[in-house]
Copies of this chain bind each other. A is one copy, B any other.
């Protein structure tokens, strides 16, 4: 089973590495980071590069497709090389997934038409422009399409997928090994939980940005 994790310039690292850490522990999994060109790909902060071991055209038929998000997404929604690869890879994939604004790329490729999907809360409404039906859920499964909300939600998406692919017991084993027993010291991880002024500040581009 090949799992292809799609990255591009200015992707958000945890969007990709969260699912990688969980999915790579599937029995028999071959996990590969792919990008338009192979080689180092730098993340949104500029502080980290990960290696894409294969170019897109070297991984034409992944079983599981994971599209990361990040500020770089905007520059990719009209990239024919990436969108065409997504369409072709999706044609034979068992699961097509995304994290954060990565769902905008699946949608831009026409893969989420009339499907329920999620994304980072700050860009959730943009899914409509591509014909998808946004929901505020953290992980949304519609057929073989599994989309996750922002950044850290990829962990929950991936563990859900491990359960679907390898069964509950293996998923529990992966959760135990990665000690995924989260205890965030604050409870501000979603717009309905965070202080309203912070939601407004971040929605309007303060502190951090997805563009």
Contacts and interface: CB of A to CB of B under 8 A. Distances in A.
Interface string A91-128: 00000000010000000000000000000110000000
Contacts of A40: 40, 51
B180 A189 contact: yes
A33 interface: yes
Interface residues of A, number: 68
A184 B148 CA distance: 12
A59 B206 CA distance: 31
A177 B202 contact: yes
Interface in A165-211: 168-173, 175-191, 193-195, 198-199, 201-202, 207-208
Contact of A13 (B21, B120, B177): B21
Interface string A42-75: 0001011111010000000000000000000000
Contacts of A21: 12-14, 151-152
Contacts of A139: 183, 185
Nearest to A176: B194
A150 interface: yes
Contacts of A150: 177-179
A125 to B, nearest CB: 16
A83 to B, nearest CB: 25
A195 B186 CA distance: 28
Interface of A: 12-14, 17-18, 20-21, 24-25, 30-33, 40, 45, 47-51, 53, 100, 120-121, 138-139, 149-153, 155-156, 159-160, 163, 168-173, 175-191, 193-195, 198-199, 201-202, 207-208
Q: Which 4 A-B pairs have the closest CB atoms?
A: A181-B189, A150-B179, A172-B188, A182-B182
